[in-house]
Amino acid sequence: MRKKVVAGNWKMNLDLSQGADLATGINKHFMAEPLNGKEVILCTPYIHLSIVSSLLSAPGLTAGAQNCSEHKSGAYTGEVSAAMIRSTGASSVIIGHSERRTYYGENDALLASKTAEALRNGLRVIFCCGEVLSEREGNIHFDIVKRQLEQGLFILSEEDFRKCIIAYEPVWAIGTGVTASPAQAQEMHHYIRGLVREKYGKNASDDTTILYGGSCKASNAAELFANHDVDGGLIGGASLVQDEFCNIVKAL
Ligand code: PGA
């Protein structure tokens, strides 16, 4: 069964006490208004994970990281392993966010290694893909997303692939206030689901959760989520404000 999911990506925002306050508030909200089968994942900075995980008790509400090392352990100063993330109580990790691809040079091969390492350690992967503006204008956005998925994710067995969520995030929509139109989102999500069907078959593609990300907020979430192939959102800026974030979840 395809899951409905909203994931918040806090990025490099909120100090520890601010993060704990936000997590406490969101938990309280979903204790009072149960998620009823929907899932909400708070993807926090590494140092918040342990405390945030311990603060979340509402059914369906869990914590996740925003990145992980491709290595198991060892002399990799400044890195955090998938096993460490798992040990905090977090159960998910974002892999391949466009900011990691762009600012930290993370390429498809590296992301495939990170994905494999995350899965080996029992983490669920939220795998991001999406084109930049010039690629959309050049009408190669489908090719770009196809390459990112084929090289980063479709190397997995079906069993492992089923532990992943795909997030389509057009880079031109991230943090810009420009959202993909519901039709643009549906068109790409439908295309992605078709790629999954070709690779893993109809059952797997029917079961795959595909999130939209990029300037999604409470005021536009409902029209994006209304599309058949849009199963929720990956939310950046709007995940930092409790009411706004909870209203996005409500729109699902
Ligand atoms: P945004 O970010 O909602 O602030 O556009 C989305 C993301 O980067 O995941």
186-234: pLDDT as tens digits? 999 999 999 999 999 999 999 999 999 999 999 999 999 999 999 999 9
User: pTM for this structure?
Assistant: 0.98
Does the CB atom of residue 122 touch ligand 1 within 6 A? no
**9 CA closest ligand 1 atom index:** 9
Does the CB atom of residue 149 touch ligand 1 within 6 A? no
**128 CA closest ligand 1 atom index:** 9
**237 CA closest ligand 1 atom index:** 4
Dihedral sign, Cα of residue 141, residue 98, residue 248, residue 8: positive
Share of the chain above pLDDT 70, in %: 100
Select which of 29, 106, 169, 189 is catalytic: 169
- pLDDT tens-digit profile of 140-149? 999 999 999 9
Does the CB atom of residue 211 touch ligand 1 within 6 A? no
On whether the CB atoms of residues 2 and 209 are closer than 8 A, the answer is yes
**CATH number of residue 151's parent domain:** 3.20.20.70
Task: Compute, in angstroms, the gap from residue 65 CA to the centroid of ligand 1.
Answer: 15
State yes or no: pLDDT of 177 exceeds 90.
no
Query: For ligand 1, atom 9, which residue shows the shortest CA distance?
Result: 236
Q: How far apart are CA 1 and CA 13, in angstroms?
A: 34
Q: How many domains does the chain have?
A: 1
Which secondary structure element, helix H or strand E, spans residue 137, and what is its range?
helix 133-137
Which band of pLDDT confidence, cut at 50, 70 and 90, is reported for residue 178?
Answer: confident
Select which of 97, 106, 131, 135 is catalytic: 97
- Identify the bridge partners of residue 40 per DSSP, sorted by sequence position: 6, 61
Q: How far apart are CA 143 and CA 130, in angstroms?
A: 10
Residue 87 pLDDT: 98
Q: Residue 24 belongs to what domain range?
A: 5-251
Q: Is 97 a catalytic residue?
A: yes
Task: Compute, in angstroms, the gap from residue 129 CA to the centroid of ligand 1.
Answer: 13
